[in-house]
A and B are shown apart, each in its own frame.
Chain A
Amino acid sequence: MIIFKLAMKSMVSRRLVTTLTVLSIALSTTLLLIVERVRVGARASFVGAISQTDLIIGSRGGSLPLLLNSVFHIGSPATNMKYSTFKQIQADSKTAWAVPIVMGDSHRGYRVVGTSQDFFSHFQARRSQKLTFALGNVSDQTFTAVIGSNVAARLKYKVGGFLALSHGIGEVSFHSHEDRPFLITGILEPTGSPVDRSIYIPLAGTEAIHADWHDGAPPRREDAISAQDLAGRTFEVDEISAVFVGVKSKGDILNLQRQWSSFRDEPLTAVIPGVALDELWEGLGYGEEALRLVAVFVVLVGLTGMLVSVYNSLSERRREMAILRSLGATPSVIFGLLLAEAALLVGGGAAFGLLLTRVFLTVLQPMIVNQFGLYLTLDSFTSVELIYFSLILVSGVLLGAVPAWRAYRNSLSDGLVIRL
């Protein structure tokens, strides 16, 4: 213990260098840990963009476009599938629930998704986290909309407000359905998924705005049907973009996928989102690795800083080592002293880094959720963090052995001849 006491006092006497060294290790540790949290958070946001949905079924095409389009709303929807097929899927004995979605409209850059009310009871963005309403609720009326948290925040929309849809999915649309505004009846809680950036309207709504359209073209003014007229009507849906399916028993997922992929009435593609997302993420994973590699290098730089500062102190402390030896300290005590110093610097730095990480996360988390839709978990200390902490500590002590060995050699060769 005298070793730690001496190391402590010696470090305190060089407090400026000590502080800077501890700080640099703390900051590099913080970076590593935050990169790790972001990595885990990004993966969770990506893979968790959809959960508890066992199958996504759409018209025959690539499984990737189907996934990207239905879950992330990336790219334009491929060809549609028949609504009657959805009915068959829903009626299948292995199906627990099925939710149709229709895409193709947007509102000021946010995708509009036509769906059934079942969507809100079955769709889960994160494991065991159902969609919940921050305000209002979903309505069964045709011209109503539920909006994601981001949409509400960015566009400053409130329950009771109206929004007009535009045809197409660009920010600026060539045709808007301004004559048929939708009443906002609900705002969803943030989920950290594409849901936050979406607007949900009833299936009938998507039909209604196009009711008087023919072959994808808007009606001539005299043929246009007024919104009041439309509100009273019921609409038959013929086509939808995709179906989200939940199965009764997980063992049926593969069977169902095979069954619907080879459906006779219509060519379909069925993907298992969990598996597909995992694969996709693995494919994109090199970015993640690069990020981690950079963070590891930053930590190495921090540790090297420690090495340099301890090493630099050696020459001015040779006399100190000689004094200790004259008092009966063995060279291994000298070695231990410098090792203790490295351990204290690195341990202190890494512990401070853990703390800084917590502070950063707590302070920045709301902003990160809002800005990037990224949920960074706030759990106290993850096991990965403790592993990193131990790794940093161990490598710090190992690096510390370099100056310690040098001091050991010095103390053997210097004897007691070091004088002022």
Chain B
Amino acid sequence: MDRESPAVLINALRFSYSKERAILDIPKLTIERGERVFVHGPSGCGKTTLLGIIAGILDPQGSQVLIHGSDLAKMRPRQRDVFRGSQIGYIFQMFNLIPYLNVLDNITLPCFVSPARRDRLGSTSPIKAAGEIASKLDIQHLLNKMISELSVGEQQRVAAARALLGAPALLIADEPTSALDGNHRDEFISLLNSVADESQATVLFVSHDLSLSRHFGRQISLPGLNVVNMISAEVSL
């Protein structure tokens, strides 16, 4: 991993699901390490698609997408999977915890899927590391519970703990607060940011709720459907 290069560097990205139209057309986008970026835009404008490309789930279709200096376009799909496991923590809109595993197993799962993530824990066992993160998020008393026994807010913190374990350098959250009321949203985001601060992770947070943007250092908006999106033009620093 190249310490100097930005967290995300996109050059001349054109992405389309079908030949007719490009969902995304981004001449240039740079996100520095440690930045807190808020991505918003109306439904269907391509927010999740952009996250999918950055996370290496969607093929960048030949465009240059450098994450921490590594070009995703030059990787094979399985290399991108391994890369994602090691570098990226992903929080889903609906937390997407695995219902048949208990809280502890859910949180430690990334360490078993990705050896690199496990290695970053060093001599600390995944279980111990999970306990530490759980106490920061105030869910340490829930470790042996099943997911179905948790409240929505608790589930959200478990999802965050899972994404944060093993200190991935890039944290991606795709509308993780949509199920919460206003107060809890703010609370959750502050918590997330403070934990991310400790590991100096970059945060990419997607929502169409503009009121949340105040928690973030920078805001990117993806305007309407079917339009070529000029992300760089919208960047407000």
Contact = CB atoms under 8 A, between A and B. Distances in A.
A97 to B, nearest CB: 72
Interface of B: 48, 51-52, 55, 57-58, 77-78, 81-86, 88, 90, 92-94, 96-101, 105, 109-110, 112-114, 117, 162, 174
Interface in A367-420: 412, 415-420
Interface centre among B86, B100, B174 (most CB of A within 10 A): B100
A330 B48 contact: no
A12 B110 CA distance: 21
A10 B98 CA distance: 9
Contacts of A325: 57, 81
Interface stretch (A60-68, A118-126, A133-141, A315-323): A315-323
B100 A328 contact: no
Interface residues of A, number: 27
Given A2-B113, A419-B93, A326 B98 contact: no
A332 interface: yes
Contacts of B99: 13
A43 B17 CA distance: 66
A58 interface: no
A416 B55 contact: yes
B94 A420 contact: yes
A9 interface: yes
A333 interface: yes
Contacts of A328: 81-86, 88, 110, 113-114, 117
Contacts of A332: 78
11 contacts: A2-B113, A13-B100, A319-B96, A323-B96, A326-B57, A327-B90, A328-B88, A333-B113, A412-B77, A419-B96, A420-B94
Given A330-B78, A330-B82, A415 B57 contact: yes
A207 to B, nearest CB: 82
A87 B81 CA distance: 90
Nearest to A416: B57
A381 B96 CA distance: 46
B92 A326 contact: yes
A331 B78 contact: yes
A40 interface: no
Nearest to B109: A327
